[in-house]
Structure 1
Amino acid sequence: MSGRIVLVTGVTRYIGSALAGLLAAHPDVERVIGVDAALPEPAARARMAGAEFARVDIRNPLISRVIDAAGVDTVVHASASAAPLSSAARTMAKEMNVLGTMQLLAACQRADSVAHLVVRSTAAVYGSSPRDPAVFCEDVVPRGVPTKGPARDAVDIEGYVRGFGRRRPDVRVAVPRFAEIIGPTVQTPATRYLSLSPIVPTLLGRDARLQLVHETDAVAVMQHLALGDFAGIVNVAGSGVLTLTQAVHRAGRVPLPLPSGSLGIIGRLAALAGVRGFAPEQLRALSSGRVLDTRRLTGVAGFRPAFTTAGAFDDFVAGLSPALSAEQVRAAQDKVAALLGVRSDPGPATADAADAAARPTLIGIPGDAPGAPRRRRTR
């Protein structure tokens, strides 16, 4: 019995190239074809070991000929919803994300050989608002749908994928919604923001909850969905959460709290520091945060990430040049807090402390048991 023939898009980036190499080494896969509009760098080519490469722009109808000629039965659209690293690349990224996805889906619809489709998406489709639920499950209807930027592209892409599913109900379709992907290799506006040294601007009075997924887990779950039998939308994130302040401390940086409503200032400061590509919805996520319910991932899809959120962040930090020691961070934060006239909030020193700080705690009110309704007072 012959194995799978898989086509992977976006192989010039880490996720696509690593996925192509991982699939090529799998015993159930006969052939892997990586496609992209540009030639992969040597590092990406090394990660693709065992896979073939075709220089094809997915916006070009030529992609249909590649699928037909190879008899592709599994398509993994790993380049969908990838955030651009610069504002200048935003227009090109939108065309590749939206128009490229439309052309790829049209090619898959015409190809009778295609039986499995995996399209990468992002948790940014949930938006980011103070009125959001504490945890997003896959069936939650967002309070505010993103209207522009990469998040809007992801919303449009998911709409096109749903339309494809109606036209080709015989194709198994899986859509992983990723939390922020982090690690020593991937580069995104968020990783560049958290790499600022030695000061990272934050919002005064806000401490967003962050949930992350390690780059190797992102690759592994894409392979799991490509070769498995799960169909539908699934949230992907490491267990646990970190607050933004905790993350800044763990990176050996000093948080600089700025007044509420200064998202534009943060964006300009980040741009001056060399962080490009920060879209408005990414800045808003820094003030509200976003936590995902991953029970469908572990229970139904049958995948459990190897890295927790804290573990993924620590592995990312291990690749950074150290800025300040924990004692220096503490002293600098105390000085910043004194200048602003606010109380300095210490960050956890260890991963265990961070995980414990992220867990909800019941607080007892004197005279009442924790969680019990308070007695109504009468005059």
Structure 2
Amino acid sequence: MGKVVLVTGVARQLGGRFVRRIQKDPEVERVIAVDAVLPAHQLGAAEFIQADIRQPTIARVIAETGADTVVHMDVTGIAPGGGSRAMVKETNVIGTMQLLGACQKSPNVRRLVVKSSTNVYGSAPRDPAVFTETTPAKSLPSGGFAKDAVEVEGYVRGFARRRPDVAVCVLRFANILGPTADTPLAAYFSLPVLPTVFGYDPRLQFVHEDDVLEVLRIAAHDPRRGTLNSGTFNIAGDGVLLLSQCSRRLGRPTVPLLLPAVTWTSSLVRTLGMSDFSPEQIRLLTHGRVVATDQMRETLGFTPRYTTAETFADFARGQGPGLLPPQAVAGAVDRIAALSAQGSGHLFKHSAD
């Protein structure tokens, strides 16, 4: 009998691609695809079950399908279909709690893979140059997807203590980019003009969506000789890029803004067409973040196909021509300048008060 793999979050492009990829593996007999909404893309020969992981019904799904491997991909920073931030948090945190409770009750589950993020390290001015998997965060994330990821990992550690017989693998992905990436940072780089924080040029790391699929596949399988497919691993492409390098490679102009003027940030991104850009993303674009990937290579046995620069280049190719018509650029810059003036005015007013 081959493996029975249950995958959550399959309505998103990345989850759908992973489902189509994992069912081709000769060791896999069945793939159970789970999501609260119907996917718009094909899932191949996978069995789709419409179920909300926030509800106790997920326990019945795991029990009835006899899943022995669970790949939890329904941890994300963007809601499908323009859903609210509250819905995202519920799915990330409450959904993970329900899923882990279901896995704990199932005697069949032997492997759990969780899609996490390097956002758990936060972004702070006194951060180390490079985070390892055991480096404590200088400043824990206070909100947004980053805080969700911290909470999710806490629940996963609790599950691992209660079910030591289950191999648990947590993959902390750097910023995921690629031609079809649907992430807050991908949305930021798609803006016609990139607002940046005055005086800062952060170091950034990226991981290609194709490499994400491959490392998830490796983690879902029993370990090969000399590797250990359990534990917590940073996943990122080699090298780093400065934000200024990213803007130049996209051909998009930047507008430096004062860091203290944070009260108008949400208005700024809404004006530019982004519905969700958390303070944690602002901190990332201020202080950056770089992680070590030694354990990814030496212990997990995975080497990314794409470097950080190659990942960004592939993403940039999918963005089309960088420079927009002068009128569009000028209009975007004018909107940013107006909001910047409003933010600075509020800042000076509060200082005077």
Cα pair 1:84 1:188 within 8 Å, conserved: no
In the aligned structure 2, how far is the partner of 1:18 from the partner of 1:86? 18
Q: Which residue of 2 aligns with 1:9?
A: 8
Find the counterpart in structure 2 of residue 61 from structure 1: 56
Superposed displacement of residue 101, structure 1: 0.5
Give the TM-score taking structure 1 as reference length.
0.82
1:257 Cα shift? 1.4
Counterpart of 1:61, as a letter, is: P
1:231 aligns with 2:230: yes
Matched residue type, 2:13: Y
Unpaired runs of 5+ residues, structure 2, are 224-228, 331-336, 338-353
Q: What is residue 158 of structure 2 aligned with on the other side? A: 163
Is there any run of 5+ residues in structure 1 with no aligned partner, and where? 333-338, 340-379
Partner of 2:344: none
Counterpart residue number, 1:203 = 197
Q: Distance in 1 between matches of 2:67 and 2:173?
A: 25
Matched, 1:183 2:182: no
Deviations 1:73-117 (A, max 9, x none): 000001124444798510001111111100000000000000000
Q: Does 1:245 align with 2:244?
A: yes
Distance 1:86 1:141, change over 3 A: farther
Q: Distance in 2 between matches of 1:151 and 1:35?
A: 24
Q: Against the structure 1 CA distance between its residues 83 and 123, is the aligned structure 2 distance closer, same or farther, given a 3 Å change threshold?
A: farther
Answer with 1 or 2: which has the greater Rg.
Answer: 1
Query: What's the offset of the Cα at 1:286?
Result: 0.3
Give the partner amino acid of 1:240: G
Q: Per-residue deviation at 1:241?
A: 0.5
Q: How high is the TM-score relative to the length of structure 2?
A: 0.88
CA distance in 2 between partners of 1:87 and 1:264 (Å) = 23
Contact 2:35 2:51 in 1 (8 A): yes
2:78–2:182 CA contact under 8 A, matched in 1? no
Q: What's the CA shift for 1:258?
A: 1.7
Sequence identity percentage: 48
User: Which residue of structure 1 aligns with residue 110 of structure 2?
Assistant: 115
Residue 291 (structure 1) aligned with residue 284 (structure 2): no
Give 1:246 deviation, angstroms.
0.5
The Cα offsets for residues 297-320 of structure 1, whole Å up to 9 and x where unpaired, read as 011100011111111111111111
Matches within 5 A, 1:1-379: 2-41=1-40, 44-45=41-42, 48-84=43-79, 89-197=84-192, 199-229=193-223, 230-324=229-323
Q: Which moved more, 1:87-96 or 1:223-232?
A: 87-96
* Deviation digits for residues 310-359 of structure 1 (CA, Å, limit 9, x no counterpart): 1111111111131329xx9xxx9xxxxxx9xxxxxxxxxxxxxxxxxxxx
- 2:306 partner letter: F
Root-mean-square deviation (Å): 2.0
Tell me which amino acid in the other structure corresponds to 2:239: G
- Letter aligned with residue 68 of structure 1: A
- Alignment size in residue pairs: 324
Q: Distance in 2 between matches of 1:262 and 1:123?
A: 26
> What is the alpha-carbon distance in structure 2 between the residues aligned to residue 206 and residue 85 of structure 1?
32
Q: Is the 8 A contact 1:86 1:277 kept in 2?
A: no
Q: Which string of whole-angstrom CA distances, capped at 9 and with x for unpartnered residues, describes residues 94-141 of structure 1?
A: 111111100000000000000000011111110110110000000001
**DSSP-derived class of the 2:84 partner:** helix
Tell me the CA shift for residue 261 of structure 1. 2.3
